[in-house]
């Protein structure tokens, strides 16, 4: 049986949202989906005739990758990398370790890196250098979120979903200590950040 809530998932509340450390909505599910549709259209136009290889950065980008790939009307390939940056749960040090490398060769591929969020930008800057060394035909970045005023390095981001205030956020793939990734919207984290 399909309930009214399932028919209009945008309006439904996940029980998870009621937990104490889930704060206000920063980007709603409706805003996310509308923006992703726009990004998909732009990418479809920009990459016509040279279908991209989407490289998702795990784990945070898994949900964005899933929705973005379906918003692109081109025969894309997908692959994933997993990186872990040394630092605390909420701050990266910029020293990145590749936990899972790509399965495919990048030579002559049009690579579009799909990232969840750019904070200091150090993770992405490292990844760009790492991927460029493998001689792709082109390399661009699509970041869902960019935190205002936090970047410690110059980054060239071809596609950005939303610029958000510099606070810690969770949901839609983003975690705090591996929790809260399955929230449908981007929320401020209202718990302790130690």
Q: What is the set of active-site residues?
A: 119
Listed in sequence order, the DSSP H helices in 52-181 are: 62-71, 122-132
CB neighbour burial string for 68-104, b if at least 16 within 10 angstroms, e if fewer = bbebbebebeebbbebeeeeeeeebebebeeeeebee
146 binds ligand IMP (CB under 6 A): no
Yes or no: say if 36 and 67 are a contact pair by the CB < 8 Å rule. Answer: yes
23-82 binders of ligand IMP (CB under 6 A): 60
The answer to whether residues 118 and 90 touch, using CB atoms and an 8 Å cutoff, is no
CB 164 within 8 A of CB 147: yes
For residue 30, the surrounding DSSP H or E stretch is helix 29-46
Select from ligand IMP, Mg ion, none the partner in contact with residue 29, using the beta carbon and a kind-dependent cut-off of 5 to 8 Å: none
Residues from 77 through 96 that contact ligand IMP (CB under 6 A):
85, 92
**Residue closer to ligand IMP (CB basis): 12 or 85:** 85
168 binds, among Mg ion, ligand IMP, none (CB under 5 to 8 A by kind): ligand IMP
| Cβ at position 12, least distance to Mg ion in Å | 26
**Which of 45, 82 has the CB closer to Mg ion?**
82
* Site membership for ligand IMP, residue 172 (CB under 6 A): no
Q: Which parts of this chain interact with ligand IMP (CB under 6 A)?
A: 60, 85, 92, 115-124, 168-170, 174-175
Binding site for Mg ion (CB under 5 A): 60
């Amino acid at each position: 049986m399909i309930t009214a809530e399932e028919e209009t998932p945008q309006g439904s509340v996940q029980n998870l949202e009621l937990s104490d450390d889930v704060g206000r909505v920063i980007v709603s599910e409706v805003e996310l989906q509308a923006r992703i549709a726009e990004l998909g259209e732009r990418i479809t136009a920009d990459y016509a005739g040279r279908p991209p290889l989407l490289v998702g950065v795990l784990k945070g980008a898994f949900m964005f990758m899933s929705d973005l790939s379906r918003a692109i009307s081109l025969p894309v390939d997908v692959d994933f990398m997993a990186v872990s940056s040394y630092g605390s749960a909420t701050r990266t040090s910029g020293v990145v370790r590749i936990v899972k490398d790509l399965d495919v060769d990048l030579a002559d591929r049009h690579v579009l890196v799909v990232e969840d969020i750019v904070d200091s930008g150090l993770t992405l800057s490292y990844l760009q250098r790492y991927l460029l060394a493998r001689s792709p035909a082109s390399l661009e970045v699509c970041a869902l979120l960019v935190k205002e005023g936090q970047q410690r390095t110059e980054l060239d981001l071809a596609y950005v979903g939303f610029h958000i205030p510099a606070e810690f956020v969770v949901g839609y793939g983003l975690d705090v200590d591996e929790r809260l990734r399955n929230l449908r919207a981007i929320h401020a984290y209202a718990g302790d950040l130690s």
